[in-house]
Amino acid sequence: MSIKRGVSFYSYQQAYYKGQYDLEGLIRTTSEVVGAEGIELLAEQTPVGSYPNPSDADVDKWFGWMDKYKTKPTCMDSFIDYLMFKGRVSTLKEQVQMMERDLRLAARLGFNVIRVLCPVRKEVVEASIPIAEYYNVKMGVEVHSPMMIHARWMEEYVDMFERSGSKHVGIIPDFGIFQKRPARKLLQDALKRGADEKALDYIVEAFENGTDIHRIIQELKQRNAGPQEMQVAMSLIRTRPSKPEELRDIAKYLLHFHGKFFEMDEYCSETSVDYETPIKIMKELGFNGYICSEYEGQRLYTGAEEADEVEQVRRHQVMLRKLIGE
């Protein structure tokens, strides 16, 4: 058993938005062009039939595609809209109902894990445990930058997991927590617009050495840095790196991974996120779940220029294959 590979359809958001692909097209592309088996779905982005209650015929069609393209459902991303109505926060019971809605849908579509957004309160997850057990779907809380593995919020979650003794709760780290530096394209574009190369070098080096981003911004202000340099620094404002070693501390709760990435270069290397160290540790830990590519570099492109999402995901899968050692 080893780490398995998949793709989060979040990666193809631009192509789907424009109407270039439908859901089946994305599944086919994932299997035939990208070369991945696992599928992670945002049911509210690329729904199977209609969300949250697809017809039985839609569900049959979904499983038909899984057979046809030899793909497998891995994780379904859930959103708990606790600001459903203006002026009030949904009550605990309402939020548990939303969780139940997604657990039921995940079970119908063959997903045995759902991703719970990190701002969701642990009380909601705790109260949903019997429902998750009933549907036999695990709830994985994401650790997404600026959240860190050892943030107090996560530690309280882990305490709750311990207390509950349930096998239906766990953690889904997002590789964004292992971002070391800005994406190459961001730096290149800043240079093209006339950014000072030395200032950019300073940002990259200081960030890689673990300097807090607010201190970096302070320093840039003192150096009278211009808007181009500031923009690069600001791109890291919500990036707080965790140490890959810390995965060991939450090993028993690891359910799934989001392979967040921003830019794959022509040699199939990620230009800003550390994949090598975390995957090495995941292998040592014997993790045998999925890591799903989650491309988020669309926002690096402006004007007429557009990201080639499928090619980026394909390159990411080449890198994963190599690092996993297939």
Q: In the complex, which residues of this chain contact another protein (CB under 8 A)?
A: 10, 13-14, 16-19, 42, 44-47, 50-51, 79-86, 117, 119, 298, 306
Which of residues 19 and 165 has its CB atom nearest to another protein in the complex?
19
As measured in angstroms, the least distance from the Cβ of 115 to another protein is 13
SS3 sequence, 217-252?
Answer: HHHHHHCCCCHHHHHHHHCCCCCCCCCHHHHHHHHH
CA distance 79 to 87: 19
Which of residues 60 and 81 has its CB atom nearest to another protein in the complex?
81
Going across the sheet that includes 72-78, the strands are: 169-173, 138-143, 113-116, 72-78, 38-42, 4-8, 290-295, 257-261
As measured in angstroms, the least distance from the Cβ of 299 to another protein is 8
Torsion angle (degrees, nearest 10) of CA 311, 315, 321, 325: 170
CA distance 40 to 33: 17
Which of residues 98 and 279 has its CB atom nearest to another protein in the complex?
98
Which of residues 176 and 289 has its CB atom nearest to another protein in the complex?
176
Contact 76, 106 (CB under 8 A): yes
Place of tokens 């979040």: 10
Closest listed residue to residue 275, CA positions, set 286, 259, 287: 259
Which of residues 14 and 277 has its CB atom nearest to another protein in the complex?
14
As measured in angstroms, the least distance from the Cβ of 238 to another protein is 12
As measured in angstroms, the least distance from the Cβ of 11 to another protein is 11
In three-state secondary structure terms, 140 is: strand
As measured in angstroms, the least distance from the Cβ of 285 to another protein is 29
Which of residues 19 and 194 has its CB atom nearest to another protein in the complex?
19
In three-state secondary structure terms, 118 is: coil
As measured in angstroms, the least distance from the Cβ of 158 to another protein is 21
